[in-house]
Amino acid sequence: MENMYILLASASSIFIAQIIWIFRKRRREVQSHPNEWTLFSPLGLFGSSILPKIKYISPGVNWPFINKHDIFARSGADYCFSTYAVPSPRNNLLLGDAAMIKEVVNSRTVFPKPVELYVFLSFFGKNIVVSEGEEWKIYRKIAAPAFSERNNKLVWDETSRILHELFEEVWGEKEVVTVNHFLDITLPLALSAISSAGFGKRMTWDENEALPLGHIMTFKQSLHIACTQFISKALLPSWAMGLTSKLRNTRNGFNELRSYMKEIISERQSTGAIRANDLLSNLLAATDEDSRLSEDELIGNTYMFLLAGHETTAHTLAFAFALLALYPEEQDKVHQQINSLLTEGASLSYEDMPKFTYSMAVLYETLRMFPAVIYIPKVAAEDTVLRSTTENGDPISLSVPKGTSIALLTPALHYNPRYWEDPHNFKPERFLKDWPRDAFLPFSGGPRACIGRKFAEVESIAAITAFISQYKVTIKEEPQFAHETFKQKKERVLKTFNALTLTPVRIPLVFTRRS
């Protein structure tokens, strides 16, 4: 037994020594460049460490958003290497430089997406998010026409209809409506919009929906589960999904959604009713004999559009209305522009959307300050060089070895004072004049930029227009916060955590009907 302990101790010592040797080697590889090092990898599953902030151990939870541009301000350059020892010693290249980021996102073959990080999102079938190379090109070619102008108009019309129902049937004659957390409004709004514009399945705010024959939950219930409980489904083995009642309900929700989607596909194909403007119909119409998607691929891609378009838009709208409530002078500017475009008794249509320049400016400023995705992973497929310039115009040439993991830090780019004046303050006006487009990355960039960008923009502008035209938005006054300063209120209301995307903790708002 004693010999066994000695053997284990020796093996452990050799292993630790090997880790230390490789770690020191990795640090030497980047010693001429700005370098931060921690024991554990700073980049977890969704873009940040799961450990608290401990010097030299972990940078902390949600660190890309909390630190913003500070990590580069410390290093004196807009790039930095991050060296860590666990799970295996390696270097990450962190980027907050617009020119370097532009080169990375536009060179898809040199800097591909590390799809192995996203494979857990393929449980419904292969899709555009978890593919690369030729497979990705096929999915992109088929999916791009689905996001058409006809679909954009449908998004606007359905978002307007859903909010009209909220105002008339749920809020009714109330002059003042208090919402404890605005995400309780924006999540079902986004879910309803993506259901209508994605599947052609209309939802209402009524929870008493009839249960269809052959199903154990409604389409709305299954869709909600699939959008909110996907982490359990993605990370747990199938046998574990039966361990608790909550997990069993999650399993049933995903099974039900797959069943509903198969029924919709079968109905559209059998009746030839592939002429609607929703995404699924457009996907079906875009396939041909040479590029036909399997049923699993249709379901997998539609689900990815559903997941990506649901949470991100809901969170962005929640942050946007929090900012408008905190900055009433900006809200007044939005309202004045909407009023100037409204004639008596007229409703605003999709064709009017380009006129809402201030609403779009508010949306873009929200996305700049609260990007849904706080880091975008890439990998160097070959030895290459990234080039940029310093603030003084001096050239920078950075050698990037093959296999280097690269993290495009969206908050660092969006709060970089080199590109954005006074970046920590809410100033929508900056988007009404020339602005640094290469330093704006909420929808990623290059060939792999978000295919649903216009979908999200249309839904968001329709929502901002509908709410602000009818209601004044303020922060809910609560006794326990009676003596806080504006800065403290702002920090409280805009507090975040990072799950799949950047998420507001709690945004309490009051909606007062305009006269």
The domain segmentation of the chain, as residue ranges, is 25-113+383-414
Mean pLDDT of 454-479: 96
Q: Inter-axis angle of helices 183-199 and 453-470, to 10 degrees?
A: 130
- Taking the CA atoms of residue 405, residue 408, residue 409 and residue 411 in that order, the dihedral angle to the nearest 10 degrees is -170
pLDDT at 15 over 70: no
pLDDT at 46 over 80: no
Mean pLDDT of 246-274: 85
**pTM as predicted:** 0.91
Contact assessment for residue 64 and residue 80, using Cβ atoms and an 8 Å cutoff: no
Q: What is the pLDDT of residues 65-118, one digit of tens each?
A: 999 999 898 778 899 988 887 777 678 899 999 999 999 999 999 999 998 888
Q: Which pLDDT value is given to residue 236?
A: 87
Cα(first)–Cα(last) distance of the chain, in Å?
84
Contact assessment for residue 225 and residue 249, using Cβ atoms and an 8 Å cutoff: yes
pLDDT at 397 over 80: yes
Binding residues: 450
State how far the Cα of 167 lies from the Cα of 154, in Å rounded to an integer.
20
Element (H, E) at 183: helix 183-199
State how far the Cα of 477 lies from the Cα of 485, in Å rounded to an integer.
13
Strand 502-504 versus strand 405-409 pairing type: unpaired
Q: Which pLDDT value is given to residue 9?
A: 65
Binding residues for heme: 450
- Range of lowest pLDDT (32-46, 334-348, 384-398, 456-470): 32-46
Q: Which pLDDT value is given to residue 47?
A: 55
Residue identified by tokens 């900056």 is: 430
pLDDT at 360 over 60: yes
* 46 compared with 69, residue with greater pLDDT: 69
Q: How many CB atoms lie within 10 A of CB 478?
A: 11
What Rg do the C-alpha atoms of the chain give, in angstroms?
Answer: 25
Q: Is 343 helix (H, G, I), strand (E, B) or coil?
A: coil
Q: Which candidate, 233, 315, 235, places its Cα nearest to that of 45?
A: 235
Q: How many CB atoms lie within 10 A of CB 137?
A: 13
Q: What is the pLDDT of residues 130-180, one digit of tens each?
A: 898 888 988 888 888 888 898 899 999 999 999 999 999 999 999 999 999
